[in-house]
Structure 1
């Protein structure tokens, strides 16, 4: 993937054997191993796990770097990561399971299920005395709009006006997992445009209301358990926390510094849009299920027609994927595939053209704030995931590693 605004750099690949990458294809895999090893050895990234698979087989697995307080723990396929917004596709899958059971509908006003969304308000600006200027939204919010980020909700870190509102009204950050964090206005009328935000956190509340289960319980019973995603959870145990790769900040001089990072261990609500922790190995199973149109290891998670529905464009001619930053310590301004029209399905970004790395038009993908990324290519029947823990999002060094990893996977397929 390329980002605009100069956010790409080159990673030099040196001719030396990989230390501990695993590659069924020695030629193409060797190149991927070198890319990952050199990125870690040079200090460009603190550690990385990358995996790729076809419908039936894992075709690449590599892990490089050290973690732990003393940097003494080897990064491995079982290393834990905060996957942040890579939680969103999982939440979307859960919502679609309930849609299959007729417990949810895509286009009914969601306020019928969640009264707190029955009368949404739009932020129009601020009065001269600083008071927020609000008006009623012109129409109701629907589940489809929540799933496609066209509801009007945003993130304070991605919108200056919303950040001003949050500061003025003393709204806690959504990562506090407290009910008051949801007291955000809409930035525009539902359906008017695409804007990334807390919509999927609201979908988490929708799932709980429709299923009668708390989100962790629902996910474990209906997604993680059936798929064998043994480590993915909103509430990591102490053993899993010992395997958690530390968070790092990219400093102005380009160096990396470990920083503290925690989400509440016993939250008032689970952060459906960004609260999950897990492993690359677990996430690859989810992606293989998507490749297999809803089935993995003989168990059906979704119907094939539901998987195909999720992969279709659901925002019409609206453009998706371009995001600005009001908090550069968390994310840079970023646009995946600049110059290309992007659409959004029910859970993923859709690229409408083939990419330089080899991804087919109509593929699916997304990412997490701490620089975790995935893609699913139904046409080529391949999927991949790569994870590190760096802030801000769209880190240039990690984006370049992702680009090279993805390109290497396609070279391996073509070999």
Structure 2
């Protein structure tokens, strides 16, 4: 077993104190777990930026984890695959006829007016899991660029299936078919793959994505992670903040439109962005996966060991890995240089990062300032971050880099 040394814990405590004193971030938290137990949990700042009366952020504070929900949706899909209700090679058209005639947008990056052409093939379930389906967030240019697309911000009305159909219509962005950045299976493209997968899960399971995850993931593990806010959860939620162009931080004041959430009824559980969790609960999920991967005894395992191991095996083509590497430098250029890929649910580093995570560690981030790393070789996972936009906030990136460095420099045998 590993633990963080006393010196390491002090260094983390000092880092939190520094970030609070220098007001580098609004409310934030840090949680570290080993394969066996939680090693560290602390937090700093206030639930509402610069408002002490809102109460301090604590390890039990709730965060909108945004794209960290993508892992949860992938796990739900893998559960259905183990149940024999889905297959990796199932075409998406088997469940969603809207994907019958997708189009690839030629020149998407180079020009504001890309030319659509018929896609060669249709995405499969594995393509959705590995983000090689071609689905993209950027079929149409948005202003500002970090704002959320209409697929996330449209007003959900009617029933659950109507909201699903409306989502699929919105992500067409006016094209004749679902727009893709590349032919399915040929590259990596960051987009709505997890949300599409969430709709398929709901239709195959005959229940909402939220209810399915509660039954097969959250309840067995014993965590309160959710896709649905309540008045009680709202009271624990760390409020969003905004990083101004001059580097100062202010409260979020509807600078951009967000996803639909309480008190409005959520009819469409967005598998790519709609999750909420405390950091200890998300770390518990990662620890659950670490224990299964390591072959340790796990009460109520959500997946088999052979399935969990696929989470740490690359699935992208060489071109796909290069496309993913082009996205990563906004977070950490060192990660991109080390080599990256994507598995059945996680981004992977393909070589060691000196003084940090080992090869085949998994990682990702949330749009509103949350990040995680899960390292099966070392047997630890880190969850940390804040609630601040625009995404890839420099304060969040700085904090996570320092946290990871401190932890790996201060691990010792227990």
TM-score w.r.t. the length of structure 2 is: 0.84
2:93 pairs with one of 103, 111, 114: 111
2:223 maps to 1:229: yes
Question: Could you say if the C-alpha distance between residues 357 and 396 of structure 1 is closer, same or farther in structure 2, counting changes exceeding 3 Å?
Answer: farther
1:182 pairs with one of 171, 191, 201: 171
Matched positions, count = 376
Q: CA deviation at 1:235?
A: 1.5
Question: Could you say if the C-alpha distance between residues 113 and 378 of structure 1 is closer, same or farther in structure 2, counting changes exceeding 3 Å?
Answer: same
CA–CA separation in structure 2 for the residues paired with 1:228 and 1:304: 19
2:240 maps to 1:269: no
Runs of 5+ consecutive residues of structure 1 not aligned to the other structure: 1-22, 326-330
CA–CA separation in structure 2 for the residues paired with 1:236 and 1:361: 36
Deviates more, 1:296-305 or 1:401-410: 296-305
Question: Could you say if the C-alpha distance between residues 334 and 163 of structure 1 is closer, same or farther in structure 2, counting changes exceeding 3 Å?
Answer: farther
Q: CA deviation at 1:131?
A: 8.2
Partner of residue 36, structure 1? 16
Q: CA deviation at 1:68?
A: 3.4
Question: Could you say if the C-alpha distance between residues 33 and 321 of structure 1 is closer, same or farther in structure 2, counting changes exceeding 3 Å?
Answer: farther
Q: Is the 8 A contact 1:112 1:118 kept in 2?
A: no
Q: Give the 5 Å matches for 1:167-316.
A: 172-176=150-154, 178=163, 179=166, 180-183=169-172, 184-230=178-224, 232-260=225-253, 262-265=258-261, 266-293=265-292, 298-316=299-317
Q: Is the 8 A contact 2:104 2:180 kept in 1?
A: yes
CA–CA separation in structure 1 for the residues paired with 2:297 and 2:385: 22
Q: CA deviation at 1:396?
A: 1.7
Q: CA deviation at 1:282?
A: 0.9
Question: Could you say if the C-alpha distance between residues 43 and 164 of structure 1 is closer, same or farther in structure 2, counting changes exceeding 3 Å?
Answer: closer
Question: Could you say if the C-alpha distance between residues 400 and 211 of structure 1 is closer, same or farther in structure 2, counting changes exceeding 3 Å?
Answer: same
Question: Could you say if the C-alpha distance between residues 132 and 378 of structure 1 is closer, same or farther in structure 2, counting changes exceeding 3 Å?
Answer: closer
SS at match of 2:313: coil
Question: Could you say if the C-alpha distance between residues 332 and 358 of structure 1 is closer, same or farther in structure 2, counting changes exceeding 3 Å?
Answer: closer
2:324 pairs with one of 318, 321, 325: 321
1:359 pairs with one of 357, 360, 366: 357
Q: Is the 8 A contact 2:221 2:301 kept in 1?
A: no
CA–CA separation in structure 2 for the residues paired with 1:233 and 1:336: 33
Q: CA deviation at 1:134?
A: 2.7
CA–CA separation in structure 1 for the residues paired with 2:75 and 2:23: 36
TM-score w.r.t. the length of structure 1 is: 0.84
Q: CA deviation at 1:311?
A: 1.3
CA–CA separation in structure 1 for the residues paired with 2:205 and 2:12: 43
SS at match of 1:254: coil
Q: CA deviation at 1:335?
A: 5.3
Q: Is the 8 A contact 1:121 1:136 kept in 2?
A: yes
Partner of residue 71, structure 1? 52
Q: CA deviation at 1:238?
A: 0.8
SS at match of 2:141: helix
SS at match of 1:375: strand
CA offsets, 1:1-34, max 9 Å, x none?
A: xxxxxxxxxxxxxxxxxxxxxx974211000111
Question: Could you say if the C-alpha distance between residues 133 and 411 of structure 1 is closer, same or farther in structure 2, counting changes exceeding 3 Å?
Answer: closer
CA–CA separation in structure 1 for the residues paired with 2:398 and 2:107: 38
Question: Could you say if the C-alpha distance between residues 88 and 296 of structure 1 is closer, same or farther in structure 2, counting changes exceeding 3 Å?
Answer: farther
CA RMSD, Structure 1 to Structure 2 (Å):
2.6
Question: Could you say if the C-alpha distance between residues 391 and 296 of structure 1 is closer, same or farther in structure 2, counting changes exceeding 3 Å?
Answer: farther
Partner of residue 90, structure 1? 72
CA–CA separation in structure 2 for the residues paired with 1:392 and 1:154: 19
CA offsets, 1:335-376, max 9 Å, x none?
A: 561322211101111101111342111111111011101111
Q: Is the 8 A contact 2:5 2:412 kept in 1?
A: no
2:341 maps to 1:340: no
Q: CA deviation at 1:268?
A: 3.1
SS at match of 2:344: coil
Q: CA deviation at 1:323?
A: 5.4
SS at match of 1:74: coil
1:151 pairs with one of 123, 133, 143: 133
Q: Is the 8 A contact 1:175 1:271 kept in 2?
A: no
Deviates more, 1:311-320 or 1:31-40: 311-320
Runs of 5+ consecutive residues of structure 2 not aligned to the other structure: 157-162, 173-177
